[in-house]
């Protein structure tokens, strides 16, 4: 099985950032989250272009609006990309 590189970063705030790379070393997926998806955002990339965003709050998939509301309590969480 060919394993692709994964990069983990834990910030002093407690936020975890996970980056998955494809076989060419290009970023494929990036996820920012707190505490087992208390809040989270996940991005999918293809050829360096962001294709998709997925939002989580309280361990559930949520709408962009719900994510924005929850994000008010987590100042270092990224804002949603309204162009997607």
Nearest to 22 by CA among 41, 39, 5: 5
41 contacts 80 by C-beta, under 8 angstroms: yes
Alpha carbon 4 to its chain centroid, in Å, reads 18
pLDDT in tens, the chain (84 residues): 455 789 999 999 999 999 999 988 999 999 999 987 899 999 999 988 999 999 999 999 999 999 999 999 999 999 999 888
């Amino acid at each position: 099985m060919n394993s692709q590189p994964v990069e983990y970063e834990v910030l002093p705030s407690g936020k975890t950032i996970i980056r998955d790379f494809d076989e060419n070393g290009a970023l494929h997926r990036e996820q920012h989250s707190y505490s087992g998806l208390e809040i989270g955002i996940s991005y999918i990339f293809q050829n360096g272009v962001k294709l998709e965003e997925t939002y989580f709050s309280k361990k559930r998939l949520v709408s962009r609006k719900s994510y924005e509301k929850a994000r008010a309590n987590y100042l270092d969480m990224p804002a949603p990309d309204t162009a997607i």
